[in-house]
């Protein structure tokens, strides 16, 4: 395990965490917990899972989108670890049947990492999942996300506008929030009033008002939006469009002089438009309020230390239903110490951009089928998800197997 001496842990209220437990005879448990958290940061894990498996407690890290087992502890130590985490999060350690949420923070120098904790009691005991929110990782610039140059240029032009909207689309875990924050980095927040409504607020940006909306307490994005519009905002980030009320409120704000950034769940850019239509957004609002739809996925990058070239086999690509690359070779990861034997290290985005032009507007207003809207989009200047992925295959960034997993 990594050296834990450099990190200092705090409860959500700012108090030093677990010092009392360490002094009260639980020093081994505290050391194991801190070691796990520190190792997760070292490996770049996004989540830490502690789950009961028979007589043991298994710990798994989610790295590059996949879970990997990193430790297993006996039942007694596992229970002590669960209690330590609950104490650190100010949870009720006596409750065994309810869901509980909490958080804690780790600091080392100027680096600060937030940990969001969810606890649930299942048939074999408590299961805890810790979400790792590292601000230094999140504050990415749009040119570092893996977008084509034409998409980067379009996003920068959007960020300079005074009104309109962009929708980031994709499944859960596709990196939509990362992209929204990257676009916000392009906006001069010293001269514009930027407000976000999120559930939850995961990362903090300077010179920006960020509001946490707790839907479990009856608050909604739509009700928050109505109040925020009285705060003289220029730019609004709405974490996610989930319902009809939020969709209509967000797009109405885009029509009344605000720049709107939001996200929704869909498989591609055209699918996001149909998602809004399903949420009862009128077509005439859709074509006037939406400027860009950015669909995305996350793919694991090949490990640069162990990737090896392989000749392109035409039959293999045809069997998968993918276009044959122009390159003579593609790459596969062999597995090494640098990538923990997986052949992959890190992730990159796969993107497509839909721009609301006159052809697209006309097709939407006459309720054209999805296939026609897709054809119009692909005739535009921006790559599709598949073509963007295939360029990364030819460049040795992605493997064909990873493209098939993500897009297939």
- Does one domain contain both 197 and 235? yes
| CA proximity to 309, closest of 326, 329, 327, 325 | 329
Q: Evaluate whether residue 178 is within a structural domain.
A: yes
Long-range own/partner contacts, residues 365-371 (CB < 8 A, 24 or more apart): 365/283, 365/284, 365/287, 367/283, 370/270, 370/271, 370/274
- Does one domain contain both 127 and 143? no
Q: Evaluate whether residue 325 is within a structural domain.
A: yes
Q: Evaluate whether residue 349 is within a structural domain.
A: yes
- Does one domain contain both 120 and 250? no
Helix (H) or strand (E) holding 28: helix 27-43
- Does one domain contain both 63 and 207? no
Residue-level pLDDT at 23: 47
Q: Evaluate whether residue 3 is within a structural domain.
A: no
- Does one domain contain both 97 and 201? no
Q: Evaluate whether residue 366 is within a structural domain.
A: yes
Q: In 290-368, which ranges are continuous DSSP H helix?
A: 314-320, 358-365
Q: Evaluate whether residue 1 is within a structural domain.
A: no
- How far apart CA 350 and CA 353 sit, in angstroms, is 11
Both tokens of 46, joined, read: 């996004």
Contact 211, 236 (CB under 8 A): no
Contact 159, 179 (CB under 8 A): no
Residue-level pLDDT at 335: 93
Residue-level pLDDT at 18: 60
- Does one domain contain both 301 and 159? yes
- Does one domain contain both 186 and 126? no
- Does one domain contain both 110 and 152? no
Centre a 10 Å sphere on the Cβ of residue 313 and count the other Cβ atoms it contains: 12
- Residues of the chain predicted below pLDDT 50: 1-4, 22-25
Relative to beta strand 235-238, strand 164-169 is unpaired
- How far apart CA 282 and CA 270 sit, in angstroms, is 16
CATH number at residue 69: 3.30.450.90
- Does one domain contain both 240 and 215? yes
Nearby residues of 96 by Cβ (< 8 Å), 6 or more positions away: 121, 126
Residue where a domain terminates, one of 134, 168, 197: 134
Q: Evaluate whether residue 368 is within a structural domain.
A: yes
CATH number at residue 169: 3.40.50.300
Centre a 10 Å sphere on the Cβ of residue 369 and count the other Cβ atoms it contains: 9
Residue where a domain terminates, one of 88, 104, 134: 134
Nearby residues of 239 by Cβ (< 8 Å), 6 or more positions away: 177, 196, 197, 198, 199, 213, 221, 262, 263
Residue where a domain terminates, one of 115, 134, 153: 134
Our count of domains for the chain comes to 2
Please give the residue range of the domain that contains residue 331. 139-407
- Does one domain contain both 262 and 299? yes
- Does one domain contain both 55 and 183? no
- Does one domain contain both 330 and 378? yes
Query: CB-based burial of residue 284 (10 Å sphere; 0-12 exposed, 13-18 middle, 19+ buried)?
Result: exposed
């Amino acid at each position: 395990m990594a050296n834990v001496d450099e990190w200092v842990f705090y409860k959500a209220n700012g108090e030093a965490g677990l010092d009392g437990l360490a002094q009260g005879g639980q020093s081994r448990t505290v050391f194991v917990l801190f070691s796990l958290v520190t190792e997760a940061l070292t490996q770049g894990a996004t989540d830490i899972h502690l789950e009961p498996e028979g007589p043991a407690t298994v710990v798994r890290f989610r790295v590059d989108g996949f879970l990997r087992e990193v430790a297993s502890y006996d039942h007694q130590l596992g229970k002590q670890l669960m209690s330590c985490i609950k104490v650190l999060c100010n949870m009720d350690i006596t409750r065994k049947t309810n869901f509980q949420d909490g958080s804690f923070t780790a600091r080392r120098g100027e680096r600060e990492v937030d940990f969001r904790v969810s606890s649930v009691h299942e048939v074999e005991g408590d299961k805890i999942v810790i979400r790792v929110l590292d601000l230094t990782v999140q504050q990415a610039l749009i040119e570092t996300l893996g977008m084509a140059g034409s998409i980067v240029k379009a996003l920068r032009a959007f960020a300079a506008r005074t009104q309109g909207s962009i929708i980031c689309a994709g499944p859960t875990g596709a990196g939509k929030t990362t992209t929204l924050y990257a676009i916000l980095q392009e906006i001069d927040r010293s001269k514009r009033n930027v407000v976000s409504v999120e559930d939850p607020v995961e990362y903090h940006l300077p010179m920006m008002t960020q509001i946490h909306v707790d839907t479990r307490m009856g608050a909604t994005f739509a009700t928050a939006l109505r109040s925020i519009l009285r705060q003289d905002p220029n730019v609004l980030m709405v974490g996610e469009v989930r319902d009809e009320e939020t969709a209509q409120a967000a797009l109405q704000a885009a029509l009344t002089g605000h720049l709107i950034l939001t996200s929704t769940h869909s498989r591609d850019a055209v699918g996001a438009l149909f998602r809004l239509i399903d949420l009862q957004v009128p077509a005439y609002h859709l074509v006037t309020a939406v400027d860009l739809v950015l669909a995305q996925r996350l793919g694991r990058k090949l490990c640069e230390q162990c990737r090896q070239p392989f000749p392109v086999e035409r039959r293999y690509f045809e069997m998968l239903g993918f276009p044959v690359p122009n390159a003579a070779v593609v790459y596969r990861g062999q597995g090494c110490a640098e990538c923990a034997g997986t052949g992959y290290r890190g992730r990159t985005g796969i993107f497509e951009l839909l721009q609301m032009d006159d052809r697209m507007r006309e097709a939407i207003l006459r309720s054209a089928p999805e296939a026609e809207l897709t054809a119009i989009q692909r005739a535009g200047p921006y790559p599709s998800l598949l073509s963007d992925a295939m360029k990364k295959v030819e460049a040795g960034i992605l493997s064909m197997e990873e493209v098939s997993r993500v897009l297939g």
